[in-house]
Chain A
Amino acid sequence: MDLELMVRSAPAIAAGLPMTLGLVVLSLLIGFVLAVVIAQMRLSRYPVLSRFAAGYVFVIRGGPLLLQFYFIYYGLSQFRPFWEGIGAWPVLREAFWCAVIALALNTAAYTSEIIRGGILSVPHGSVEAARACGMSRLLVFRRIVLPIAFRQALPAYGNEVILMVKATSLASIITIMEMTGIAKKLISQTFAVYEVFIVAGAIYLLINFLLTRVVKYAEWRLTPYLRERPAPASTAAAP
């Protein structure tokens, strides 16, 4: 084990951190919006919508993410004239945006199931009460259903976020130099497999550790009613 090499390789690998985080944040944001839409479709009364959503989730969850990357990066580029025609080529030409699209489409499927579970856990009475107060459907969804559902789904969503951090490593396969890509390059240049693995792995573990803390904190913030109440002085003094 070469400690000096570890210290020297750390800045090089950490230089890929902004790329990793950029991919995570962008794909999570886009993926979340998509997921809310898909979850709504899945729960819709119209069979066309719910079937489509169920099919989407089945297809995305049933195949490896790496193949989804290849499909978007290589598979779609075969129809370049078509994409040029509709003006989408500048996006699909860039490996970065292909990676974001692949990751966003992937997380949207998994997240939609998490949100669906959350929505199903919202007590019907809360929705009825909100409707009785005169809130419109959209307002009920925004003010009542989504917050309760999100709170319920938070632990599962935290897992999904961590899976996403790990999934960004696949972007290196389509030429994007994020942390895993840099680590691979360093390994093949220096043959210092363990040193590079430890440094890169430690950074990933640190990110994931911090993320679990953030999720735990968010959970705690969003569930004040589950916390133990400070005992009032009078009851504490009662015999």
Chain B
Amino acid sequence: MLELLALGDTGWGDELLRGAGMTVIVAVLSFVTGVAIGMTGAGAKLSGSLLLRAVAEIYTTVARGVPELLIIYLFAFGLNPIAQNIAALVGYTERIDFDPFTIGVVAVATISGAYSTEVLRGAILTIPRGQIEAARAVGMHRWLVFRRIMLPQVMRFALPGLGNVWQLTLKDTALVSVIPLTELMRAAFRASGSTREPFIFLLAAYALYLVMTSFSTVAFERAERHFGRGVRRA
């Protein structure tokens, strides 16, 4: 049975590994985009503007309250038409066709971003208001306050939460297999279909996911230690 997992032409091992590579790429891109969305979203949620707050609130409620799969379908079927409509507004009338990769990253980033928004909002709120006032009083402008005072602390407070978001994102990438994008899940499924030996391939794919999630746990622990250096623990 194990020869089915061989690398090269005789087995499906290399297809699975390539799928795992695609999973990592989609997960990293979605996560990073999600954190960027999260920064914006957290800023919007904490801003004085009622409109911004409402938009951010609707976004996080919908993206976290609706099944991930439904959101994937929304982007799979809906991203091209809406892009077409927007493009038509500026006079671009040619056909727009996003590939499954782009659709997958946009969809997973949208989900990931909603969770990041909440994590980052919580982290920003833990910074004592006095620090920001003090920095402003010293004469730092807004951007400098953000970069020097807020960001280093937000990173530290948000890391455990972002670690959870990363794990969610990594596992959510399995859903883009329905788009269809050949990441680890789909690679395993295709191998199962052509050999009629689903057990071994699904098991191998599962093992690869476990390797990825365990590795991430260690990496985030390291990062937490790095950003927590110089802080005495309770």
Do they bind each other?
yes
Chain A interface residues (CB < 8 Å from chain B): 58-59, 61-67, 70-71, 74-79, 162, 165-170, 172-173, 180, 183-184, 187-188, 191, 193-194, 197, 200-201, 204-205, 208-209
- Nearest CB in chain B to that of A181: its residue: B69
Contact with A along B66-103 (1 / 0, CB 8 A): 11111001100110010000000000000000000000
Q: Please give me the 8 A-B residue pairs with the lowest Cβ-Cβ distance, nearest first.
A: A169-B67, A64-B174, A193-B78, A64-B171, A62-B213, A74-B198, A166-B67, A201-B66
Measured between alpha carbons, how far is A197 from B66 in the docked complex, in Å? 10
Q: Is B206 an interface residue (CB 8 A)?
A: yes
On chain A, the residues within 8 Å of B205 by CB distance are 67
Q: Name which of B61, B66, B213, B214 has the most chain A CB atoms within 10 A of its CB.
A: B66
A63-B171, A67-B202, A70-B189 known; A78+B69 contact, CB < 8 A: no
Q: Is B33 an interface residue (CB 8 A)?
A: no
- Nearest CB in chain A to that of B209: its residue: A63
Q: Is B139 an interface residue (CB 8 A)?
A: no
Task: Give the contacts of B191-224 with A (CB-CB under 8 A).
Answer: 192, 196-199, 202-203, 205-206, 209-210, 213-214
Classify the interface of chain B: helix, strand, loop or mixed: helix
Can you list 23 A-B contacts with CB-CB less than 8 angstroms, sorted by A residue number? A62-B209, A64-B173, A64-B185, A67-B188, A70-B185, A74-B192, A74-B202, A78-B197, A78-B198, A78-B199, A167-B67, A168-B67, A169-B70, A173-B178, A180-B73, A183-B73, A193-B81, A201-B66, A201-B70, A204-B65, A205-B61, A208-B65, A209-B65
Q: Is the CB–CB distance between A193 and B206 below 8 Å? A: no
On chain B, the residues within 8 Å of A173 by CB distance are 69, 178
Q: Is B175 an interface residue (CB 8 A)?
A: yes
Shortest C-beta distance, A145 to chain B (Å), equals 27
Q: Is the CB–CB distance between A197 and B65 below 8 Å? A: no
On chain A, the residues within 8 Å of B206 by CB distance are 59, 63, 67, 71
Q: Is the CB–CB distance between A70 and B209 below 8 Å? A: no
Q: Is the CB–CB distance between B210 and A204 below 8 Å? A: no
Q: Which of A58, A59, A66, A193 contacts B175 (CB 8 A)?
A: A66
On chain B, the residues within 8 Å of A65 by CB distance are 171, 174
Q: Is B54 an interface residue (CB 8 A)?
A: no
Q: Is the CB–CB distance between A193 and B67 below 8 Å? A: no
Q: Which of A71, A78, A205 contacts B62 (CB 8 A)?
A: A205
On chain B, the residues within 8 Å of A58 by CB distance are 210
Measured between alpha carbons, how far is A19 from B185 in the docked complex, in Å? 26
Q: Is the CB–CB distance between B213 and A197 below 8 Å? A: no
Q: Is the CB–CB distance between A75 and B73 below 8 Å? A: no
Task: Give the contacts of B105-148 with A (CB-CB under 8 A).
Answer: none
Q: Is B177 an interface residue (CB 8 A)?
A: yes
Measured between alpha carbons, how far is A91 from B66 in the docked complex, in Å? 29
On chain A, the residues within 8 Å of B178 by CB distance are 173
On chain A, the residues within 8 Å of B197 by CB distance are 78
Q: Is B172 an interface residue (CB 8 A)?
A: yes
Q: Is the CB–CB distance between A76 and B199 below 8 Å? A: yes
Q: Is the CB–CB distance between B174 and A188 below 8 Å? A: no
Contact with A along B158-198 (1 / 0, CB 8 A): 00000000000001111101100000010011001000111
Q: Is the CB–CB distance between B210 and A59 below 8 Å? A: yes
Q: Is the CB–CB distance between A197 and B74 below 8 Å? A: yes
On chain B, the residues within 8 Å of A187 by CB distance are 73, 77
- Nearest CB in chain B to that of A79: its residue: B199
Shortest C-beta distance, B32 to chain A (Å), equals 20
Shortest C-beta distance, A182 to chain B (Å), equals 11
Q: Is the CB–CB distance between B62 and A169 below 8 Å? A: no
Q: Is the CB–CB distance between A172 and B69 below 8 Å? A: yes
